[in-house]
Amino acid sequence: MDSIYECSVLVVDDETALCGMIAQMLSQAGFRTVYTAHSCEQARCVAAQRQPDAILLDVMLPDGDGFSLMQELRRARDMPILFLSARDADTDRLHGLGLGADDYIVKPFLPQELILRLTAVLRRSYSSVLHTEEEKLVLDDTVIDWGSGTVHRGDAVLSLTAKEYAILRKLADNRGNIVTIDALCRAAWDDDTFGYENTLMVHIRRLRAKIEQTPSKPRWLLTVRGLGYKLVREKSV
């Protein structure tokens, strides 16, 4: 497996609109294969036929509950499962985690929070088959650790915000190529891109402060005027 985004994901939720939104969100983030199901029965069929690498599973389904379904699916095949639930009581969360769930995400959630937590679980689960380049981005003496969302430069360790992570990840996935302003806004906000350009510029400036030796004269994260931004493959001269 060359990339975490080659992992297939099954989204199980009885809210059709929400299920579609999550599937679109994952696709825009770079996941190549996303399946959906709206009931326990559908989830069983898709899991058996498609054998997804991970499942995002709603707790309350029309023909059963996610807790029981997780145990059933895990008996057939071990795979990472993350619960999505409107039930935020500690007892529910602890019950899900106690049954062996890899994470428990409470609705409503921020799109990038879901992406970060899913990718973190996938990297933990499939680290042995992922290429090591997937775990880190090396820019001269600066190293970005995707798993922890941190930037390492010398003895300094800086944390990326969810938006910074999403923007940098999009640039890294398209390294050497121009990424348009619209594409970066969609990656960070998963919404209509209108009105986010100035905010994007602020995040780009903050990213440069973390990854560039001289942020005012960037060597890695370049502006392509009128088009967008580019993360160069080699140091610019």
* CATH number of 39's domain: 3.40.50.2300
Q: What is the pLDDT of residues 185-220, one digit of tens each?
A: 888 876 555 667 888 999 999 999 999 999 999 999
237 within some domain: no
Residue 23 within any structural domain of the chain = yes
Residue that finishes a domain, picked among 85, 107, 126: 126
**pLDDT, mean over the chain:** 87
Look up the CATH number of the domain holding residue 225: 1.10.10.10
Residues 185 and 113 in one domain: no
69 and 159 part of one domain: no
Q: What is the pLDDT of residues 137-164, one digit of tens each?
A: 889 889 998 877 899 988 889 999 888 9
Looking at the domain assignment, is residue 102 inside a domain?
A: yes
**Residue 236 domain flag:** no
pLDDT of residue 21: 94
As a whole number, mean pLDDT of residues 52-60 equals: 95
Percent of the chain's residues with pLDDT above 90: 52
128 pLDDT exceeds 70? no
- Same-domain check for residues 140 and 122: no
One domain for residues 121 and 141? no
Q: Which residue, among 11, 177, 20, 195, has the nearest Cα to 186 in the 3D structure?
A: 195
Contacts with 215 (C-beta within 8 Å, 6 or more apart), sequence order: 205, 208, 209
- The verdict on 155 and 119 lying in the same domain is no
- The answer on 203 and 98 residing in a single domain is no
Shared domain for 114 and 190, answered yes or no, is no
Number of structural domains the chain divides into = 2
- Which among 95, 126, 157 is the end of a domain? 126
Whether the model clears a pTM of 0.75, i.e. scores above it, the answer is no
Q: Which of the four pLDDT bands, split at 50, 70 and 90, describes residue 236? A: very low
Same domain, 84 and 141: no
Do 181 and 163 fall into the same domain? yes
Task: Check whether 93 has a pLDDT greater than 60.
Answer: yes
* pLDDT at site 235: 47
Asked if the structure places residue 165 within a domain, the reply is yes
pLDDT at 193: 56
Is pLDDT at 132 greater than 60 in this prediction? no
More confident position, 77 or 236: 77
Regarding whether 101 and 17 lie in a shared domain, the answer is yes
Q: Of 37-51, 179-193, 211-225, which range is least confident? A: 179-193
Task: Measure the CA–CA gap between 224 and 181, rounded to whole angstroms.
Answer: 10
Instruction: Look up the domain containing 83 and give its range.
Output: 4-126
Q: Which of 76, 94, 126 is the last residue of a domain?
A: 126
Is residue 80 included in any domain, yes or no? yes
Q: What is the mean pLDDT of residues 73-91?
A: 87
CA dist 183 → 84, 177, 188 (Å) = 27, 12, 9
Same domain, 40 and 112: yes
Q: Do residues 115 and 13 both lie within one domain?
A: yes
Residue 91 resides in a domain: yes
Residue 78 lies in a domain: yes
